[in-house]
Amino acid sequence: MAKINFGGTVEEVVTREEFPMEKALELLKNETIAIIGYGVQGPAQALNLRDNGFNVIVGQRKGSKTWDKAVSHGWIPSETLFDINEAANRGTIIQFLLSDAGQIAAWPTLKPFLTTGKTLYFSHGFGITFKEQTGIVPPADVDVILAAPKGSGTSVRRLFLQGKGINASYAVFQDATGKATDKAIALGIGVGAGYLFETDFKKEVYSDLTGERGTLMGAIAGIFEAQYEVLRSKGHTPSEAFNETVEELTQSLMPLVAENGMDWMYANCSTTAQRGALDWKKKFKAATLPVFKELYESVASGAEAKRTIDTCSKPDYREKLAEELKEVRESELWQAGAAVRALRPEKNKVEASMIN
């Protein structure tokens, strides 16, 4: 493993140089990787593994939209595409990539196929960490591992096709064969990780749920709405309010942060922007730090897991979700966003269509 200095803290990570694709392929040459679930992470990981030369099959419910989606991606019924039971039976590594609620529902069906020596793979620590609520308790004679790309399935596939990679964590919950760690790393490399850092199932799910509810999705959406509303209430047009709230951040500033860091982005902005950002950063941190502490405690207590299971397991969940998303989509903020995106240069529109 490579030792990297992260701002004074030395951490061991695994890079492609230390664990090249050839090593991963050799390690897993006798394995059949069964992808169970073809919704969010499933397609990206399955396609990346297939393109990298691994032996991959997909398990999905026949007649479903996701079955048809898999067929459209080149998976062949009765050859590389099977119903869930058949795929789980054939697979020696079972990648359990259904949603958290879907995993709970499918677990009684899947568990009998976890025979001695097989490997159960997750990309999220939810089911194992909150086993009291999910009922997901693997047999003692199988490896239980995790490789979690730090991005959506769309990003995992897009960056792979661009010849890049997305960072991922890996973890071992149960090592029955003595090879669990190597399998986790090999699969992480196989699905396209740029580098892998070690964690455990609990830390993965705690950080993941905090991030999704925080800066990755929940917090950023709330901040967008707050600033947009203030600007509109003070007489700014929708175009001006949206561009100053969202467009400049996503199209101009965040790419600079991704390339060289926040300090570099600050250094390449006007002195007026620098001074204001550095001063107000402290105020925003002071205002949000208590919220993040409350959020983390809600995750650690299991309250967020309970909320997720209770709501996402209801038969009308997708209909209610669609209503909530419609409310977001039809708000003036995101209607302005749709109009602004339509006015972007043609090259940007083409790139966006490739991602979607």
Q: Closest Cα to residue 299, out of 308, 311, 286?
A: 308
Bridge partners (DSSP) of residue 6 are 9
What are 222's two structure tokens? 């709330």
And the tokens for 20? 């090249």
Report whether 204 contacts 171 (CB < 8 A). Answer: yes
Active-site pick, 50, 118, 124, 157: 124
Residues 196 and 260: their CA atoms lie apart, in Å, by 20
Cβ neighbours of 121 (radius 10 Å) = 23
Beta bridge partners of 9: 6
In the chain, the amino acid numbered 44 is A
124 included as an active-site residue: yes
Query: What is the dihedral sign for C-alpha 79, 83, 89, 93?
Result: positive
Q: Which residues pair with 82 in a beta bridge?
A: 59
β-bridge pairing 93-96 and 81-82: unpaired
Longest Cα–Cα distance in the chain: 67
d(Cα 231, Cα 244) in Å, to the nearest integer?
Answer: 9
Residue 231 identity: L
Determine the straight-line distance between the first and last CA of the chain, rounded to whole angstroms.
35
Q: Which residues are catalytic?
A: 124
